[in-house]
C-alpha cells in the first residue's frame, strides 16, 4: 500500500477524533455554563428570600420578635444538647452491648472448646456444640438475635436459628486468620445486625514448657441494631417532646410578658405623639421598676420640664427666646451686642393709676391683661415682638426693611380694636380704658444685658428714649411718631404734624406728627 494514502487516512482519523473531542468539550462547557446560571439563580433567590424575610421580621411587633427569637434559641439549645448527649448515650449502649456479647462469647467458647477438639476423633460430639449454642440462645439475652460457631476453615458448625445461615459471619480469610491468632473480640456490621466474633482456642503445653495455641474456630453473635437504636429513638422523641413543650410554654410566657412591655411602649408612643402635637397635659403611668418603668418616669420628667419651659417662655420675651435658640442652647454671656436699625413701639394705658387706686388687685390684673392680650396679638400678627411689659406699658420691637410700616399698621389696628372693645365694655357698664402709642425708628444697641445669673436680651439707645417720650406725649387714642418716619409710609396713612419737642441732651428739637387712623388706608 502506498505511504501517502495511509498518512492521509491517519490525518482524517485524527481530525475526526479531534472533532469528537471538541464537541464533547463544548458540551461539557455548555453544561457547566447552564449549571453555573442555575446556581446564580438559586443564590439570587436565596438572597431575595433572606432579604424579604428580614423585612417582614423587622415589621413584626416586639412581642412576636421576642417569641420567635426565644423559639429559635430553644431549638438551637436542644439541638446542641442532643448532638452532645445522643452520641455519648450511643457509646454507652455500644459499650454495654460489647460487654454483654464478650461475656456470652467467652462462655460459649469455653463450653464448645472440648467438643470441637474431640470432634476430630469423635465427629458426633459436634452435636454438643449445637446444643450449647441453643442453650446459650435460650438465655434470652435482650437484643441477641442469633449465635453461631464456625471452624477454623470458616465452615458453619452450629447456628441458633435452624435453617438460617445468611447471618453467620462476613469475615474475610485474612480477618479470620488474624482473629485466630489473638485472644480478643472483634465486631463488624452485617446488614441490620452488629456481629461480634471471638476465637475458640485450645492452649496446649509442650515438652519445652511453652504454651502452644491451637485454633479451633470462632464463635459469633448477631446483635440487632434496632435494639441500640430504640432507646436512642425514644430519647430523641423524649427530647423533641420536651423541646416542643418548652417552646410552647416559653413562647406563650414570652408573648404574655412581651405584650405587657409592648403595651407600655405603645402607650409611650401614643403619649409622645400627643406631646409632638402640642399637648403637654399627658402622663405615662409606670407599670414596673425595670428599664421601661424608668423610661416612663424619665418621659414624665421630660414632659414636666417641657411644660415648665412653655410656661416660663410666657414670662420671657420672644426676642430672648429666639436669641437662646440661635445660640443653640450654649452658655450665654452678657458681653455680646451689635447696632441695628430698629423700630421701637411703646404703648401706655391712660389714667390707669386712678382706676388702680379704686379697684381690687384681682380686678386690676384681669383688666390690664385684657388690653395687653389685644395689643400683643396685633403686634405679633404684624411681625413685631413684645420685648417687655412694664406696669401698664408695653415695649415692642419691629425689625426688617418694613419695620416702620408694620409698626404703624399694628398701632392703627390696636387703636381701632381698643375702640371697639371700649364700646362693648361701655355697653356692659364696665370701665373703658384708652391707649397712647409712641413709635420711633433708628439705630439701637441690641444685645444680652445683665449679670451672669440674670440677663435679658433687649435694646437700648437714644431711639428707645425718644420712642418712650413720644408715648408719654400721646393722649388717649393717639399715635405719635417722629415726623421723618412718614416718608417710609408711602402715603398709606394720613397724618397731622404736631409741635416739635425738645429732648434732654439734644440740641435740636424733634419733629413729630400724629397718625390719623380714622381714615381708611390708601392702597
For residue 295, being part of any structural domain is answered with no
C-alpha 154/C-alpha 119 separation (Å) is 16
For residue 290, being part of any structural domain is answered with no
Residue that terminates a domain, selected from 201, 230, 259: 230
For residue 130, being part of any structural domain is answered with yes
Domain count, the chain: 3
Q: What is the DSSP letter of 442?
A: E
Q: Same domain for 466 and 368?
A: yes
For residue 237, being part of any structural domain is answered with no
What is the predicted pLDDT for the residue at 51?
Answer: 78
Give bridge partners of residue 201 from the DSSP assignment.
215
Q: Same domain for 43 and 82?
A: no
Residue that terminates a domain, selected from 208, 230, 252: 230
Element (H, E) at 4: helix 3-59
Which CATH number fits the domain that encloses residue 106?
3.30.450.20
The pLDDT averaged over each successive group of 10 residues in the chain (523 residues) is 58 65 77 82 81 71 70 76 74 84 88 81 80 86 86 86 68 84 85 88 70 84 82 76 77 72 75 80 76 78 77 58 53 60 92 75 84 92 89 90 92 93 89 91 82 72 90 91 88 86 81 83 45
Q: What is the DSSP letter of 278?
A: T
Q: Give the global pTM.
A: 0.47
- Give the domain extent around 483: 329-516
Q: In 10 A of CB 445, how many CB atoms?
A: 17
Q: Same domain for 38 and 130?
A: no
For residue 32, being part of any structural domain is answered with yes
C-alpha 179/C-alpha 186 separation (Å) is 8
What is the predicted pLDDT for the residue at 441?
Answer: 92
For residue 477, being part of any structural domain is answered with yes
Residue that terminates a domain, selected from 215, 230, 245: 230
Q: Three-state DSSP class for 276? A: helix
Q: What is the DSSP letter of 485?
A: G
C-alpha cell at 446: 441690641
Q: Same domain for 112 and 224?
A: yes
Residue 63 phi/psi, 5-degree rounding, is: -65, -35
What is the predicted pLDDT for the residue at 26?
Answer: 77
Q: Same domain for 474 and 360?
A: yes
For residue 36, being part of any structural domain is answered with yes
Q: Three-state DSSP class for 519? A: coil
Pair 334, 449: CB distance under 8 Å: yes
Q: Same domain for 122 and 210?
A: yes
Amino acid at each position: 500500500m502506498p505511504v501517502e494514502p495511509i498518512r492521509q487516512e491517519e490525518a482524517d482519523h485524527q481530525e475526526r477524533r479531534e472533532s469528537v473531542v471538541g464537541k464533547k468539550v463544548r458540551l461539557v462547557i455548555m453544561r457547566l455554563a447552564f449549571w453555573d446560571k442555575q446556581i446564580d439563580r438559586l443564590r439570587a433567590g436565596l438572597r431575595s428570600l433572606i432579604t424579604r424575610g428580614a423585612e417582614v421580621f423587622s415589621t413584626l411587633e416586639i412581642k412576636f420578635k421576642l417569641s420567635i427569637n426565644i423559639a429559635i434559641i430553644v431549638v438551637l439549645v436542644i439541638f446542641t444538647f442532643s448532638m452532645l448527649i445522643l452520641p455519648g448515650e450511643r457509646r454507652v449502649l455500644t459499650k454495654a452491648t460489647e460487654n454483654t456479647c464478650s461475656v456470652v462469647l467467652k462462655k460459649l467458647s469455653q463450653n464448645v472448646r472440648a467438643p470441637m477438639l474431640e470432634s476430630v476423633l469423635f465427629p458426633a460430639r459436634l452435636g454438643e456444640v449445637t446444643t450449647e449454642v441453643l442453650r446459650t440462645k435460650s438465655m434470652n439475652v435482650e437484643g441477641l438475635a442469633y449465635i453461631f460457631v464456625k471452624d477454623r476453615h470458616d465452615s458453619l458448625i452450629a447456628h441458633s436459628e435452624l435453617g438460617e445461615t445468611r447471618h453467620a459471619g462476613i469475615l474475610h480469610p485474612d480477618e479470620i486468620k488474624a482473629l485466630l491468632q489473638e485472644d480478643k473480640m472483634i465486631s463488624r456490621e452485617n446488614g441490620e445486625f452488629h456481629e461480634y466474633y471471638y476465637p475458640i482456642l485450645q492452649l496446649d503445653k509442650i515438652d519445652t514448657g511453652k504454651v502452644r495455641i491451637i485454633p479451633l474456630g470462632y464463635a459469633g453473635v448477631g446483635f440487632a441494631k434496632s435494639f441500640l437504636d430504640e432507646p436512642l429513638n425514644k430519647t430523641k422523641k423524649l427530647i423533641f417532646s420536651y423541646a416542643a413543650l418548652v417552646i410552647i410554654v416559653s413562647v406563650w410566657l414570652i408573648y404574655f410578658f412581651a405584650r405587657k412591655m409592648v403595651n407600655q411602649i405603645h402607650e409611650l408612643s401614643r403619649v409622645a405623639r400627643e406631646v409632638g402635637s402640642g399637648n403637654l397635659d399627658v402622663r405615662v403611668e409606670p407599670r414596673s421598676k425595670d428599664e421601661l418603668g424608668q423610661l416612663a418616669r424619665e418621659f414624665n420628667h421630660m414632659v414636666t420640664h417641657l411644660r415648665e419651659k412653655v410656661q416660663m417662655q410666657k414670662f420671657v420675651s420672644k426676642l430672648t427666646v429666639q436669641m437662646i435658640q440661635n445660640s443653640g442652647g450654649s452658655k450665654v454671656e452678657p458681653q455680646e451686642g451689635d447696632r441695628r436699625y430698629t423700630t421701637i413701639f411703646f404703648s401706655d394705658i391712660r389714667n390707669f393709676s386712678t382706676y388702680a387706686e379704686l379697684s381690687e388687685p384681682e380686678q386690676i390684673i384681669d383688666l390690664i391683661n385684657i388690653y395687653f392680650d389685644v395689643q400683643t396679638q396685633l403686634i405679633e400678627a404684624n411681625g413685631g415682638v413684645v420685648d417687655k411689659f412694664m406696669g401698664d406699658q408695653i415695649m415692642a420691637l419691629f425689625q426688617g426693611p418694613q419695620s416702620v410700616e408694620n409698626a404703624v399698621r399694628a398701632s392703627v389696628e390696636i387703636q381701632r380694636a381698643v375702640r371697639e372693645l371700649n364700646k362693648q365694655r361701655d355697653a356692659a357698664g364696665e370701665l373703658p380704658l384708652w391707649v397712647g402709642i409712641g413709635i420711633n425708628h433708628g439705630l439701637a444697641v441690641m444685645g444680652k444685658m445683665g449679670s451672669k445669673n440674670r440677663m435679658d436680651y433687649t435694646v437700648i439707645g437714644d431711639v428707645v428714649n425718644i420712642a418712650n417720650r413720644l408715648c408719654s406725649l400721646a393722649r388717649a387714642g393717639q399715635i405719635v411718631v417722629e415726623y421723618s418716619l412718614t416718608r417710609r409710609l408711602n402715603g398709606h396713612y394720613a397724618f397731622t404734624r404736631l409741635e416739635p419737642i425738645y429732648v434732654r441732651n439734644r440740641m435740636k428739637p424733634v419733629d413729630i406728627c400724629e397718625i390719623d387712623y380714622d381714615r381708611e388706608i390708601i392702597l
